[in-house]
Structures are given as C-alpha cells and as structure tokens.
Amino acid sequence: MSSEKSKRPELFIDNQRFDWNEGIITGAELRELGSLPDDVEIFWKVPDQPDVPVENDTIIDLTEHPGPDRFSTQSVGSQAGA
C-alpha cells in the first residue's frame, strides 16, 4: 500500500477539471460528477486511439494511462467532430 500514489486521480470532462477519490469510475459516476444530462453521450479520449464511448455501466480504470483522463461529451445523435 505504501507504494500506491496518494494523489487522487485527476480527470477532465469537456476541459473542466475534477478530482476523484478512487482508481476506477463508472459512466454513471462520471455523469453525476459532471452533472451531465441523459441526452449527452460521453467519450473517453485515450491518446493515439479512437475515442471510446462510455455507457452508464462502463468501468474506467483511471490508473491505466499516465496523466489525467479526459472525457468529452456531445448531444445524442450529433456527429462526432474534429
């Protein structure tokens, strides 16, 4: 346990910074943390990979990649942009 980082995972939702006390987060928890309505889709922005859609039951390991995890949102039915 002493080798574990004591710093809380940092994440961004649409460029707004949030701290999270756990090493994992679900899509539902992300939605609640960012006060996101049900009519927006959430995407996990993983460097050098296509954006990953995040459903309410998706489990995300915030320790999997170095640096803060980034998420973006878009209205349901809109086309992903640049």
Check residue 5 and give its pLDDT.
46
The SS3 call for residue 60 is strand
In a domain, 7, yes or no: no
Which residue range forms the structural domain that includes residue 67? 19-75
- Return the number of other C-beta atoms located less than 10 Å from residue 77's C-beta: 7
Give me the pLDDT at residue 72, please.
97
- The model's pTM: 0.81
Q: Please report the pLDDT score of residue 11 as a whole number.
A: 94
Q: Rounded distance, CA 37 to CA 30, Å?
A: 11
Q: CA-to-CA distance for 70 and 37, rounded, in angstroms?
A: 18
Number of domains in the chain: 1
Q: What is the mean pLDDT of each run of 10 residues along the chain (82 residues)?
A: 56 95 96 95 94 97 90 81 46
Q: Domain for residue 51, yes or no?
A: yes
| pLDDT attached to residue 54 | 98
